Chain A
Amino acid sequence: MSSKILVIISAILLAFLLGIPVNAHVVSEKEWLNDPHDHGDAKIVFVKAYQFGFAIKAIQDGSKIIVYPEGSEPSVLEVEEGDRIVFRVISGDVTHGFYIDGYTPTAVGDNRIVIEPGKIVEVGPITFNKPGKIKLRCSVTCGPLHPFMVSDIIVKPNIFFYILMASTFTIAGLTLLYTSRAPENRMLGVSLDKDLDLLKVRVIGPILKRFLQWRGAHFTLILPNLLIFMVVLAAGFFGNPTGNKNFSIAVVWILWFAAVEFLILFGSRTWCTICPLPAFGEWIARRRIYSVHNPRKWTSLGKKWPKSLNNMWVSALSFLGISLIVPWLVTRPVVTGLLFALLIAIPLFTHIIFDPQRNFCRSICPANGYIGYHSNASIFAVRSRDKSVCDKHRPKECIRGSPTGYGCPWKIYPGGHNENTYCGQCYECLRSCPLDNMTLKLRMIGQDLAKIAAKAKNKFDEAWMGFIRFTLAVFYELVFFGPYFWIKDWGNMGIIYGANLATIGLLTPSLEGLNNWFKWALIVAGVALVGYPAVFYGFSWLAKKLAGENGISTRQLFLSFSYALVPYGLFLWLAFAFSLILVNWAYPITAFSDPLGWGWNIFGTKFEWNPISPEVLPYLQAPLLLIGLALAINTTYNIARELLNDHAKAFRATLVMGILHTMAGLVFVWIVAG
């Protein structure tokens, strides 16, 4: 018996130790390029797929062949309209897919073009008959960065790019023309004085009011998300190590990341209403989940929250910090799991050690900063109906609390405030107000922006939040959906593995990887923290000179004008959100049925990756950019008007800043279409 076990054990050992190559046929480059092939008048493009990009190794036109040596392959494939192209594709490492927006068949089932290592796969001939920029994508999951394995193909003449550039100039020009006619307190023709009292709207109003005044409303909204967050933790730590198969990545970084931008536009800080991160801390401190409890009986050490933290700096910098590790964060479940664990733990401490209010939300949460900042461009706001009623009403239940509602946990004066930045929309003021003076309002984008911007003294935190968000919107589009592999690889530290808790060791970077990451971090942080702000300051100085205004400092103009990035940045992020969700919609939907990526199908919503008309993406992104640009220019004018109190001066300043915003818009246009 024992000898039998011995035989088995040695057989197993042998089997594992001997790495005998199994069918590991590799195509040599020579074999690949010299393989006989004849495709008449079609050009032949030799593409090598690798983790995580496509390299154009050679292009053959008739008998002429250009071979690009290692390291000098073009990032972008340029073809002429009407060109017939045959792609001869090999894989440099693992199995990949091959998908060209609008040209190859849908990427589902047997239609998928698979590039198996060791084989030469011929695709085409494809006749490129639609001018414009399209993307070449990988359609078979090939590792953590698979969703971002893309390259560009430009079908010349790229007419759409020229049209888009012309539209950018036209929209900028038209908006400037509009502001030259001295519109007072208007945004693109819509009055900023008007708003709609949502709670007085017929049918919807009373229902909404009853729901929000119900004490269980907040809890009911948080609960489903709490469940989702727990699934994120479970999937992040124990689920499939490959990001797009894992709930924590697919739902957080594809669905949520995209959805939150739309939530900001239409619902201001609605995300903060339903976010469960600070809930544990809040419930433990209050010793209540549902009902109101006397603040004197709360469980908290009640230490004073440091004054130096009462701003957006930590939020802004932690958002930037997260962005520096974003190639890992959005592809490695364990990194997301750890971040979520941290974001649940911190508010637990802040609630118990410091005064048990939303201090974490106000000044630490990496999402708070940008959601709050951009929510000033939202069409939605929580406001008092009549401020004078609140000012005259001494008991101030909205601050101190009442038996029906807590005093504002966000430490603002709900009755008197006129900015969304720090209103977390928990609706406690709706419950505590005895005068029925609090309501929800629909308004035009940027209603309070000019006043907020003009009053912004020393609010460098918010200005830099704007710069970070704006530059990152442009940068993400370039990094994630651009053809430049090297920059993705720098951020990714060159690691090809996914990771959950058990395999977290695979994320140990090499020295070269670390070195490259520092370069990446330097570029990202440099552009966001120094580069763009410096350019912005330069233009603000010019604006001051041209406006001929001496009563106001360049610094103030710089700070105030930076608020034009509130709507502009938001619309660029909306454009980015489109490319995230239209291409990768299948991942989050599948993740709900198979959260751990283990082959479950709980709700029967398993879908294969299949982008929705990705070739029209730039046509959807462009209008968002143009709206953002128009809003930015008009906002700049409104701010200048508020600050300088003079139309002529304000218009000249707007002209200067408008040039900068147009230039920034052109950069984005170049990335999506050029």
Chain B
Amino acid sequence: MSRKGIVLFEGLALMLVVLSVTAIFLPMWDDVLNPEKKEPKTIVIRAQVKEAGGFEPSVIKVKKGEKVRIVVEGMDVTHGFTIKSLGVDLGEIKPGEKKAFEFVADKEGVYVFKCTIMCSPMHNFMKGVIIVEGE
């Protein structure tokens, strides 16, 4: 093979290798590949046992008057989701399952959400808050 050919083929191969290796950055593509996140004003809460982090994110800030769609996604074992002060109860959320609700944040304040189904020894600590901030 000529020198030029070697450079061409090796370069092409190297490019393909580098391209494949970038797959390691896959987790950074969540915003693009997650079908839920494509919708505007959608917040995805991932539910996993408290020992592994609990609800993620567990502190959510929204602006007063905003309409928000919240998707709760089960990750490891079956969880539940409730916001008593808003009258939201999504029931059981199995791993791989997603349940969503929409709400308009018309009152400023802190809304606590909790897991309702026994999920691990630290189940009782599996909580989070939605903070509705004023202008």
Contact = CB atoms under 8 A, between A and B. Distances in A.
Contacts of B10: 288-291
- Is the contact region of chain A dominated by helix, strand, or loop, or is it mixed? loop
A645 interface: no
5 contacts: A15-B129, A230-B22, A230-B26, A497-B120, A599-B44
A339 to B, nearest CB: 16
B92 A95 contact: yes
Given A22-B114, A227-B20, A596-B27, A140 B119 contact: no
- Is the contact region of chain B dominated by helix, strand, or loop, or is it mixed? mixed
Given A140-B78, A503-B51, 9 more contacts: A22-B82, A23-B116, A94-B118, A141-B77, A234-B23, A241-B48, A289-B10, A290-B13, A497-B51
Size range of the chain A interface in the assembly: 35 or more
Contacts of A95: 77-78, 92, 94, 117-119
A595 B118 CA distance: 27
Contacts of A582: none
A44 interface: no
B17 A231 contact: no
Interface string B113-125: 0111111100111
B34 A598 contact: yes
A246 to B, nearest CB: 10
A238 B48 CA distance: 14
Interface in B40-98: 44, 46, 48-49, 51-53, 59, 73, 75-78, 80, 82, 92, 94-96, 98
Contacts of A12: 59, 110, 129
A507 to B, nearest CB: 11
A230 B27 contact: no
Contact of A116 (B16, B92, B131): B92
Nearest to B13: A289
Contacts of A374: none
B99 to A, nearest CB: 11
A502 interface: yes
A12 to B, nearest CB: 5
Interface string A255-295: 00000000000000000000000000001000011110000
Interface of A: 8, 11-12, 15-16, 19-24, 26, 91, 93-95, 114, 116-118, 140-143, 216, 219, 223, 226-227, 230-231, 233-235, 238-242, 245, 283, 288-291, 496-499, 502-503, 506, 595-602, 608
Contact of B96 (A8, A15, A245, A595): A245
A11 B85 CA distance: 14
A26 B13 CA distance: 60
A141 B95 contact: yes
A11 B94 contact: no
A75 B35 CA distance: 44
Given A95-B94, A230-B21, A506-B52, A241 B26 contact: no
Given A242-B95, A291-B6, A230 B33 contact: no
Contacts of B118: 24, 26, 91, 93-95, 117-118
A231 B124 contact: no
A223 B52 contact: no
Given A231-B23, A596-B27, A599-B98, A497 B52 contact: yes
B26 A234 contact: yes
Contacts of A291: 1, 5-6, 9-10
B75 A240 contact: yes
B30 interface: yes
B132 to A, nearest CB: 10
Contacts of B75: 240-242, 245, 597
B13 A140 contact: no
B35 A142 contact: no
B123 A496 contact: no
B95 to A, nearest CB: 4
A223 B123 CA distance: 44
Contacts of B6: 288, 290-291
A142 to B, nearest CB: 5
